[in-house]
Amino acid sequence: MTELIDMSPWAGREDPEPNSLRWHQVIEPLPAASRAANVAAGIALLGFSCDAGVARNHGRVGAAGGPRAIRKALANLAWHHRSPAFDAGDVVCHPHGSDDGMESAQSRLAARVAALLDAGHLTVVLGGGHEVAYGSWSGLARHLEDKATGKKAPIVGIVNLDAHFDLRTPLLTPGQRGSSGTPFAQIADECDRRGWPFRYACLGVSRASNTAALFQRAAELGLMVREDHEITASSLDTIGDELDAFIAGCDRVYLTIDLDVLPASEAPGVSAPAAHGVSLPLLERLARRVRDSRKLALVDLAELNPGFDIDGRTAKAAARLIHQLTLEP
């Protein structure tokens, strides 16, 4: 279920000077659908409180606490935006007996994302494990399907800033299901079923953390791939131009950020901390290229685990990325 919106994380400093607002002073709970007809489109934050996919993937559980931690880190950042901002609450994963509830949570997330996109909001989903990606994309697909005219399949570009491809096959044996390591394989299969093109760029991937089979699968699918060690200050403009070219061939873009793409020193609070990673200043510049394309429809951030987050570093990095991505280009 989507629970009542808890606004308690939205607290922080209040400065006496004029024009000194912070996020916590601006954001409002999103009105119920029955009262939202006159609400201007803006920035909508939706939590996905789930780490069942991380547990299935044998990772460090705790990402269900990510949405609240991100809100608390974002609350005190200065407000430089023009659009209104809304908290749309959380989709919470509830186990049912032997069922951990992940697929149900993903389905409910998709419905909420589609509704927010239908209302015109730039939607930012706060994970949660990276199983969030399948629910997020499904919501965008539903939104685009409802808006589609004629027979042209929408071209959705997925830009994943991540140390992992998350392309593992979810159904190798009977009873084996999806996890935080399978969402893009599931999306590729769903695109094939729909007759949609699968456009996927994975930037920051670690060769040490992905098997040869996964690199082969990425090659077969024709992905845009840039490894962590390739993304440097000197190469960033070239990679940014390649990313621009990728986006130019898409109708809309879905940006998904697994915070384990950052070095462990910058993001200790994730399921699988990165030994190398891509530093926040470089990552932020790539994210801004996506934002400035004016094709960005949906963003999510995944894998924040507050229980391992030294000094809140990972939550602060996530908040900084959200702040930058929601600024009007």
Sketch the domain layout of the chain as residue ranges. 23-325
Nearest CA among 141, 132, 138 for reference residue 166: 132
User: Model's pTM, two decimal places?
Assistant: 0.94
**3-state DSSP of 128-179:** CCCCHHHHHHHHHHHHHHHHCCCCCCCCEEEEEECCCCCCCCCCCCCCCCCC
**What radius of gyration, in Å, describes the C-alpha atoms of the chain?**
19
Q: What is the pLDDT of residues 207-251, one digit of tens each?
A: 999 999 999 999 999 999 999 999 999 999 999 999 999 999 999
Read off the pLDDT of residues 262-310 as tens digits, 9 standing for 90 and up: 999 999 999 999 999 999 999 999 999 999 999 999 999 999 999 999 9
Cα–Cα distance for residue pair 313/68, rounded to 1 Å: 14
**Residue 178: predicted pLDDT:** 87
Indicate the angle between helix axes 313-325 and 280-292, nearest 10 degrees. 20
Q: In this structure, how many other beta carbons lie within 10 angstroms of the beta carbon of residue 162?
A: 28
**What CATH class has 23-325?**
alpha beta
